[in-house]
Amino acid sequence: MAPAPVSLRTGRASRRSFPVNTLWRNRGKAFLLLLTGCLGVLAAAPARAFDDAAADRVLQAAQQKLRATASDPQIPTTQYPKATTNGPWRLVPNTANIDWVQGFFPGQLWLMYEQGRDPFWRTKADAWTRNLELQKSNPDIRQITHDLGFKFMSSFGQAYRLTGDDAYRQVLLTAAGSLARRFNSTVGVIDCCDWNDGTWHVPMVTDTMMNLELLFWGARNGGNPAWNDMALRHALKTASDMVRADGGTFHVVDYSTSGSILSRGTFQGFSASSTWARGQAWAIYGFTMAYRYTRDPRMLQAAQKVTDYYLARLPADFVPNWDFNAPANQQQKDSSAAAIVASALQELSRYVSDPAVAQRYQSAALATLDSLASPAYLAPATGGGPGILLHGVAFYKTAIKPTGEDIDKSLIYSDYYFVEAVSRFKLWNQGGWLSTLGFPESVRGLGTGNTGVRIVEFDVTPLSKLIDGVIGYADTSTNVTAYSSLAMSLRMNPSGFFDVRRGGAYAALASVPYQANTTYHVRMRTDLNAKTYSVWVRPPGGGEVLVADSFAFRSDAPPTDDLGKVSLKSGHFDNEFRVRNHTVRAE
């Protein structure tokens, strides 16, 4: 959310009226609007053609555009792309503290690095990432934006996820500490904006839901555990005060310093009572992300409520107008909202328990991607501008900003969430089990009766180098809540090697390094009577290497008499590794 020295339109402001003759002049558009509104129900339609080949085609196109921008001598690594049509990117400097977009270009470079581990992308991504470090703290609170989460999770967050380099984590923790300074503990929200003209007192915007990830993540990765509570409190205020009964959202809620609601309104939307499409997209993504970290059912409920509003009002091409309630003469597609939602719905579909609902969300995500990947939205490979997606809206013309800003443009955040959505599609559609950060979600049942001597085999693929990944085993009766719940553990350690838990520590009889995106076959022989196990790892093209020979079960694990559960536990982020073809059999 960018500053503008103008006053807020609130619920107390008068609503615009539209004379009948204006409506009549626009009757054709009004009819279309009605028709497309009705088509919202088609959001439940089965997925269309978006598939692996389409994903590869999009990533190829993205790679071409991003390589050109990253190699452009006119763009130094202290300048960051923001918006474009056919000309060059409009840039913002690393020193623009209150702008919110600088993480998205390096973030896309990291997503490119993830695809093939080409060092070109890592070098470029690192350069644009490091030049943002100067924003991690500031003695002047007015120079600390609530958008630090956008900027740091997309850049330093991706960097740490993909490299495990602790220097990035340290920067993230400092930035999280800065963001936490904006938390107003009386009201229970992160105050978004010091730059308004005095109309707002303690304002909260939907966008801030996205920034909470820096606090949720930081609290779990060496930062202050209180950051988690701050983020959850803010998310709960968003759910209770910003989401309407029908699932639409206000964009802004302003509180008094004692916490009472002074007004509900909008900043970038059409009116106080309308639903701004990108704000709704931030809510869908934000509540889904909050559920990922907290598993709080109120987050899942809120995510579904705002999603159901959005899906019920989508036009036939699954790309919404910039505001769901804008009149027929103010129709302008916003591909950024569609890209954000396409990414979020793939995640949300993994969390809902009703398979029909999960299918509906996943189908809508794929239909959206299908549309965005078509020539109607995907920029031509040659002859166009440097952006990936066409037809985004930063700020439509409203009373607050009569000239608007970046209407019908390629926007760096559209591109980021589109590339993320396509990367997620690739990640989540290749079968097998993915690791998670949380223990409860990491567990897969192996059935009862796995006693005596058992042989376990599987293929494991680290998805990054330098992860902290554990494949651990527990008794059927064990509630897996910590590493100490796991009697047997094979680890891909943060130094880049496989090792195995023996009694009170990890050890390895041979050094077997692991590489990202490389699949290793693992065989384990466990003797549940003797409480010992042996592990062999076979790198691709090589022979089996014995890394553990009759190692004792973990010394502080609970009694373990059967092989009832396997936990796939990431150390830093969800999806650090994938396990396929997991089998357990008697010897």
Residues with Cβ within 8 Å of residue 473, at least 6 apart in sequence:
456, 486, 487, 488, 489, 526, 560, 563, 565, 566, 567
Q: Which two tokens stand for residue 289?
A: 């992300």
Check binding of 255 to ligand GLY (CB under 6 A). Answer: no
CA distance 266 to 326: 13
Q: Which of residues 276-335 bind ligand GLY (CB under 6 A)?
A: 278
Q: Which residues are catalytic?
A: 147, 207
Check binding of 169 to ligand GLY (CB under 6 A). Answer: no
The residue type found at 5 is P
Number of residues assigned to the chain: 587
Residue whose CB is less far from ligand GLY, 100 or 291: 100
Q: Per-residue string for binding with ligand GLY, 81-110, x by CB under 6 A?
A: -------------------x----------
Q: Which of residues 385-404 bind ligand GLY (CB under 6 A)?
A: 394
Check binding of 190 to ligand GLY (CB under 6 A). Answer: no
Check binding of 1 to ligand GLY (CB under 6 A). Answer: yes
Check binding of 146 to ligand GLY (CB under 6 A). Answer: no
Check binding of 406 to ligand GLY (CB under 6 A). Answer: no
**What's the closest the beta carbon of residue 394 comes to ligand GLY, in angstroms?**
6
Residue whose CB is less far from ligand GLY, 249 or 362: 249
**What's the closest the beta carbon of residue 320 comes to ligand GLY, in angstroms?**
14
**What's the closest the beta carbon of residue 339 comes to ligand GLY, in angstroms?**
12
Residue whose CB is less far from ligand GLY, 164 or 269: 269
Task: State CA 68 to chain mean position distance.
Answer: 25
Residue whose CB is less far from ligand GLY, 1 or 328: 1
Closest CA to 105 of 372, 353, 348, 387: 387
Q: Which two tokens stand for residue 421?
A: 């959505």
CA distance 331 to 277: 12
CA distance 343 to 318: 13
**What's the closest the beta carbon of residue 422 comes to ligand GLY, in angstroms?**
21
Check binding of 207 to ligand GLY (CB under 6 A). Answer: yes
Residue whose CB is less far from ligand GLY, 207 or 213: 207
* DSSP 8-state secondary structure symbol assigned to residue 46: P
| End-to-end CA separation in angstroms for the chain | 61
* Per-position DSSP letters for 213-282, written without gaps between them: HHHHHHHHTTS-THHHHHHHHHHHHHHHHTB-TTS-B-SEEEE-TTS-EEEEEESSSS-TTS-BHHHHHH
Closest CA to 235 of 298, 174, 192: 298
CA distance 527 to 505: 19
The Cβ of residue 119 has, within 10 Å, a number of other Cβ atoms equal to 8
- Tell me the CA distances in angstroms from 80 to 1, 136, 162, 194, 236, one per residue in order: 17, 17, 21, 24, 33
**What's the closest the beta carbon of residue 515 comes to ligand GLY, in angstroms?**
37
Which stretches within 267-411 are classed as H helix? 277-294, 297-312, 335-351, 355-372
Residue whose CB is less far from ligand GLY, 98 or 545: 98
Contact 268, 251 (CB under 8 A): yes
The residue type found at 138 is N
Closest CA to 151 of 198, 249, 82, 52: 82
Q: Which of residues 465-524 bind ligand GLY (CB under 6 A)?
A: none
Q: Which two tokens stand for residue 241?
A: 């005060």
Residue whose CB is less far from ligand GLY, 168 or 250: 250
**What's the closest the beta carbon of residue 119 comes to ligand GLY, in angstroms?**
32
Check binding of 412 to ligand GLY (CB under 6 A). Answer: no
**What's the closest the beta carbon of residue 282 comes to ligand GLY, in angstroms?**
7
The residue type found at 479 is N
**What's the closest the beta carbon of residue 209 comes to ligand GLY, in angstroms?**
10
Q: Total residues at the site for ligand GLY (CB under 6 A)?
A: 6
Residue whose CB is less far from ligand GLY, 394 or 584: 394
Q: Give the binding site for ligand GLY (CB under 6 A).
A: 1, 100, 207, 268, 278, 394
